[in-house]
Amino acid sequence: MSAGISRPAPASGAAINAYNPAYDPLVSPPGQGQDYAPTYWVATAGAPPEDDGPIRSDIDADVVIVGSGFTGLSAALALARDFGVKAVVLEANRAVWGCTSRNGGQGQNASGRLYRSQWIERWGLDTAKRLDAEIREGFEYWKSLVAQVDCDAQPGGHLYTAHRQKKMAFLQNEARVMRDVFGYDTKMLSRAELHERYVDDREAVGAMHEPDGVGVHPLKLAYGYLRQARALGVRIHPSSPVLGWRVENGMYRLQTPGGTVRARRVAFATGGYTAQGVNRLLDNRIMPVLSNSMVTRVLSAEEREAAGLKSTVFITDTRTLRFYYRLLPDGRMQIGSRSALRGADAENPRHLALLREGLARKFPALRGVDVAYSWWGWVDVSHDMMPRVTQPDPAQQVYYAFGYGGNGVAFSAHAGRRLAQRMMGKDGIAWNLPIYDTPLPGHLFAPFRRIGQGLLYRWYYLRDELL
C-alpha cells in the first residue's frame, strides 16, 4: 500500500513496466524496466536523476558493473574518481531499483550478520581486530559520502534493545567486547534510562548504545552517488538486464535485450536481486530473504509524546527475527522485520499485520495508527553470514560484492571502493581478510533452502518469544 506516490518517467524516455510485487530471485528472471516498489523513500526522494537510457546497440567498455545500487554506484564512483575509469553500469529495471530503494536506512559500523564477539570465535582475536579496523575505516568513508549529499542524515548512534530479560546478559557481554577489546564507547542503558533519554519502548528491558550509527534516506543518498558518478563520465543504463555472458577473445560479452556489451572486466553487485542462472559463479551462493517495512502517517506532537518518542536514533531489538525501527525526520514512525518465505506470498496481509502488532507492542499509544507506506524487499544473506568482495576465479576478470545480510547501507560504500581497487589490481594488506580472500560459500542443499528456512523461522519464533 502507499499514499500518493508519484513516479516520474526517466529523463531518458525509457519505457516503464509495472512493478511486480511477487518477484522472487530464486524463480523469477531479472525483469526489465520495472517501476519502483511503492516505498516511502521513492515517494519522498524527488525526481530520479538523469540516466543514459537502455542499451540499444552493441558497445565496448573497459569495466562493466552489473547492478546500480549502493555497491555498484560506489564502485563506479571510485573507478572514475580514483582511477579515471568511466564504467558502464547495467541495471535490469529502473536505476537504484533493488535493495537500495527498499532498506531501512540504518547506517551501522558493521556488515554481515555476525557480532564482533563471533568474529573472535570464528577467526581469532588478531583477525577480528583487523576486520574491525577495516569495517571501521569503511564506516568513516561512508560518512564522508553522506556529508556530501542531502539525505536527511540522523546521527546519534544505534540502540540495541533487549526484548526480554534473558537478552541483557548477551548485550552486556557484547558491550564489554566492543569497549574492552575494540575500544568503542559502548554503554549499557537500564530500562529507565532508555525510556528517559530515547524511547518508551514497552518491550525493552534495557539496551546497548553504540555511538557509531547514522540513519539516512537511502534513496536520496543513492541519487547523490548516481549524480556524482555521471558527472565523472560513468554511464548508467537502466532497462538493460544481463541475460547471460560468455568469454570470447579475452573479452566478456554480456547479452542484454538491446545489444551486447563487451568488457575487459566485469563486476556483479546485484545483492538480493541476483537471479539464478545469470552468473554460475553466484548461483546458490546467496540466500535471498524477504524483509517487510512500513511507515506510518505523520504523528502529532501529542502522539509522539504519548509513545515516548524522544529521539530519532535508530533501533534494533534482540530477536533473531528482529524488528528495526526509528522516528523519521518528518515525524513518521518506520518499522521493519521478516516477511514471507516466497515472493508469491509477499502480498499476504499477515506480514503487514506482524509489523502493526510489533509497533503496538513496543508503543501501545500507536496501536491502530494509519499506515501510509508498506513494501518489502530481498536481503542478500550469505550462508556463513558474512559478506564477500572478491575475485572468485583468479583466471577470470570477474568480481563481485555480496552478502551484507541487512547491514549494507554503510559498508556497501566501502565494498564498492574495494571492488574498484580489486578490479584495478591494487594490492594491499586489507585483502588478507576472510571477507576478501575467499569466495561466497555454496549450499549443498540449495533446492531445499526454503523448506529449511521455514523450519528455522518456527524455531527462531519459539526461541525469541517463548523459550
- Give the pLDDT confidence of 230-259 residue by residue, as tens digits: 999 999 999 999 999 999 988 999 999 999
- As a whole number of angstroms, the distance between CA 411 and CA 70 comes to 9
As a whole number, the mean pLDDT across the chain is 94
Residue 213 belongs to what H/E stretch? strand 213-215
Q: Which is nearest to 271 in space by CA: 363, 418, 409? A: 409
pLDDT at 3 over 50: no
Domains and their CATH numbers in the chain: 13-153+215-286+379-466 (3.50.50.60), 154-214+287-378 (3.30.9.10)
Q: Which is nearest to 252 in space by CA: 241, 262, 240, 243? A: 262
Residue located via cell numbers 554480456:
254
Nine-digit cell string for 448: 531445499
pLDDT tens-place string over residues 180-225:
999 999 999 999 999 999 999 999 999 999 999 999 999 999 999 9
Q: Where does 314-408 show beta strands of DSSP type E?
A: 314-317, 324-327, 333-338, 371-382, 388-390, 398-402
Residue 13: predicted pLDDT: 60
Strand partners, 287: 381
What is the reported pTM?
0.96
Is the distance from CB of 314 to CB of 400 less than 8 angstroms?
A: no
Task: Report the alpha-carbon angle 245-246-251, nearest 5.
Answer: 110
Q: Where does 42-83 show beta strands of DSSP type E?
A: 59-66
Residues 6+ apart with CB under 8 A from 202: 361, 362, 363, 364
Residue located via cell numbers 564489554:
176
pLDDT tens-place string over residues 423-446:
999 977 789 999 999 999 988 777
- As a whole number of angstroms, the distance between CA 51 and CA 66 comes to 15
pLDDT tens-place string over residues 288-314:
999 999 999 999 999 999 999 999 999
pLDDT tens-place string over residues 91-146:
999 999 999 999 999 999 999 999 999 999 999 999 999 999 999 999 999 999 99
